[in-house]
Amino acid sequence: MELESYLRKALEKNEFHLYYQPLMDLKSGEITCIEALIRWQHPLIGLVSPAQFIPLAEETGLIEEIGAWVLTTACVQTKYWQQNGFPNLGISVNVSAYQFQQHTFLSKVMEALHVSRLAPASLSLELTESAMLKDIGYSISIMKSLQELGVKVSMDDFGTGYSSLSYLRNLPIDTLKIDQSFIKHLHDDPSNIAIVKAIITMGQGLAVSIVAEGVETHEQMNILRDLDCHYAQGYYIQKPLDTAAFEQGFRTVE
Ligand code: G
Ligand code: G
Ligand code: MN
Ligand code: NA
């Protein structure tokens, strides 16, 4: 109960902020999309990681409100950036398993699009494998409804779950995000190269875009480019930045 009131107050007091991390098109070098990552700036504790408070928000049910805030804030910000120099910028938003299963989820997505006037095609939603597989029939129906709206669906942390590859045939997904654990030892472990290469080939066959996460070195980026990976994300390209720092970064790119 105490935690719930803490989280609720955080929302009321505007202690949540979104950071943004770019996804780079490896062919053109362009930033095509940004991932929104929530941060909690607590006045006393300091910065609290979402890895800590998202599970609590799920337990208490507050994820519904926090998730709606994230969606709306991310869409409004992206629409603003589209109108101020980055017309083709897309936004990718993480959705937790519980949030995805809520019966209000689809209407919250539509509301965020309506309020922001962001084109649905500019929005991607990131779901983990386990979130998708929880109630697969229901998940597929919601994912299809999202795609009918024009919203894209990404599978986050791909390779860390237990799903059989046959699921990939049936799940309506636009993008696979290869988990950072495969990228971390890309240059010193040939088995990781083999796995990443196989995922990229599979992506081409299934017409699914591939994003490599957690790219931290030039060497990793070169390997991914050689393997024809579409997109990369990670500290080597840019770490997650707050709105002001992000706009600074835009200016230096221009
Ligand atoms: O950015 P960072 O590494 O601290 O994120 C830690 C975890 O929190 C990651 O699993 C990330 O997907 C998750 N996360 C970050 N922002 C959000 C958000 O807005 N909603 C949800 N549900 N998860 C988020
Ligand atoms: O679960 P998800 O993939 O959404 O979480 C992404 C998390 O990874 C975020 O918390 C983000 O801050 C973090 N992250 C982003 N790029 C890198 C990177 O290059 N290295 C590491 N170690 N973490 C990263
Ligand atoms: Mn993510
Ligand atoms: Na991920």
Quick: pLDDT tens for 180-211: 999 999 988 999 999 999 999 999 999 999 99
- Which residue's alpha carbon is nearest to atom 24 within ligand 1? 94
ipTM: 0.98
Ligand 3 midpoint to CA 35 (Å)? 7
Report domain extents, the chain.
2-253
Average pLDDT of the residues in 20-28: 97
Which of residues 134 and 72 earns the better pLDDT score?
72
Report the C-alpha gap between 6 and 12 in whole angstroms. Answer: 10
Atom of ligand 1 nearest to the CA of 57: 22
pLDDT reported for residue 254: 44
- Please name the residues in contact with 248: beta carbons below 8 A apart, sequence gap of 6 or more: none
CA distances from 161 to 80, 132, 134, 135 (A): 36, 11, 12, 15
Q: Which amino acid is at 83?
A: Q
Average pLDDT of the residues in 84-91: 95
Measuring CA to CA, which residue among 14, 36, 33 is closest to residue 24? 33
CATH of 2-253, one of 3.50.50.60, 3.30.930.10, 3.30.450.20, 3.20.20.450: 3.20.20.450
Ligand 4 midpoint to CA 159 (Å)? 10
Crossing angle of helices 2-12/50-60, nearest 10°? 110
Is residue 19's pLDDT more than 80? yes
Quick: pLDDT tens for 89-140: 999 999 999 999 999 999 999 999 999 999 999 999 999 999 999 899 999 9
